[in-house]
Amino acid sequence: MRQMYHPDDLASMDPLVLMKNLDHARMTSRRLSYVLQQQLHLYVPEANQVREEIDRYVEAERQIESELARRRIRA
């Protein structure tokens, strides 16, 4: 899976920017999940694209959360 953030970029981000990026990734993955559940048939190619995008944002959440944990910053 392609990472949304390079680890060096995360390490150099200001904590406030990290928190904003985490909020953005969480909101976007939830919004895409809602779109997938409500508006797309589960087996059309568009649904697979949305699933891949959701996975990218969930991975971005995981990356940011691990960087916050490394810095001992609470989200």
Q: Compare 46 and 69 and report the one with higher pLDDT.
A: 69
3-state secondary structure of 39: helix
Task: Give the mean model confidence (pLDDT) for residues 37-59.
Answer: 87
Averaged pLDDT score across all residues of the chain: 90
Provide, rounded to the nearest whole percent, the portion of the chain with pLDDT above 70. 96
How much is the pLDDT for 20? 96
Q: What dihedral do alpha carbons 50, 51, 56, 57 form, nearest 10°?
A: 70
How much is the pLDDT for 75? 64
Residue 59 has pLDDT above 70, yes or no: yes
